Structure formats: C-alpha cells, structure tokens
C-alpha cells in the first residue's frame, strides 16, 4: 500500500515536470517563430537548389580515400607546397567523372566568377 502511494506521488511529480517542460518548449518555439517572422518575407531570388548543386559538385570531386588522407594529415600546409611543385602533373590528369571537367578549366572558371566576368 505504501509503495503504491509513493509511486503515485512520484508519477504525479514527473507529470508536473513534463507539463512545465512542454510549456517552456512552446514558449521557446514561439520566441523562435517571432524572431523568424521579424526577418520579413523570404526573398524569392534565393534558390536552394544552387546550394544543393554546389555541394554535390564538391562531394563528387573528392574520393573517399582522398578525403580520409586530407583529414588525417597532421600538417596540411606541406600539401600546399607539394601541390605547387606538382601543378603540371595535377593539371594534366584526366577527370575520373564525366561531369567533373579539367582542373585548369575549373580553376579558370572560378577565377572568372571571382572577377565577376561570368
């Protein structure tokens, strides 16, 4: 009998805590919604597919082994010096993917986009 009373009181306390938590969560959600609404309407010139295509292109250019080698390298600054010395060999490497393109052409395209020429 005593255990049942204790169990009911503990359960009632947990239910009160859950109600308080849900009330706080609703208040915080409303604060977030108010902050989002204060930004105004969403611009119609933003295209989320641009971001998707950009990240898809980045992900397809790097193989899993090269990603692991790049992230596990203790001193990535040395790779920059090696890349300068091996630029000709890197630039003449054929693309692995049909959509990937040439390293030099992609670099020149990026330069043109940075200048605003494209």
Residue 17 DSSP label: H
- Reference 113, options 42, 44, 57; nearest CA is 57
Residue 1 host element (H or E): none
Q: How far apart are CA 81 and CA 8, in angstroms?
A: 70
pLDDT tens per residue across span 5-44: 899 999 999 999 998 888 888 888 898 899 888 888 877 7
Confidence of residue 51 (pLDDT cuts 50, 70, 90): confident
Confidence of residue 56 (pLDDT cuts 50, 70, 90): low
Residue 45 host element (H or E): none
- Reference 89, options 78, 110, 103; nearest CA is 103
Q: How far apart are CA 67 and CA 58, in angstroms?
A: 11
pLDDT value at residue 57: 62
pTM of the predicted protein model: 0.29
Output the six-digit token pair for 94: 């054929």
Q: How far apart are CA 115 and CA 70, in angstroms?
A: 29
């Amino acid at each position: 009998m005593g255990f049942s009373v204790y169990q009911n009181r503990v359960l009632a306390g947990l239910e009160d805590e859950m109600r308080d938590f849900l009330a706080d969560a609703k208040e915080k959600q409303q604060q977030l919604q108010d902050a989002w609404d204060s930004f105004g309407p969403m611009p119609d010139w933003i295209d989320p597919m641009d971001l998707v295509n950009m990240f898809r292109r980045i992900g397809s250019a790097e193989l899993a082994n090269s990603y692991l080698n790049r992230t596990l390298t203790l001193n990535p600054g040395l790779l920059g010096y090696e890349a300068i010395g091996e630029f000709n060999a890197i630039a003449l490497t054929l693309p692995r993917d049909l959509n990937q393109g040439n390293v030099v052409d992609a670099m020149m395209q990026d330069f043109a986009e940075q200048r605003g020429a494209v």
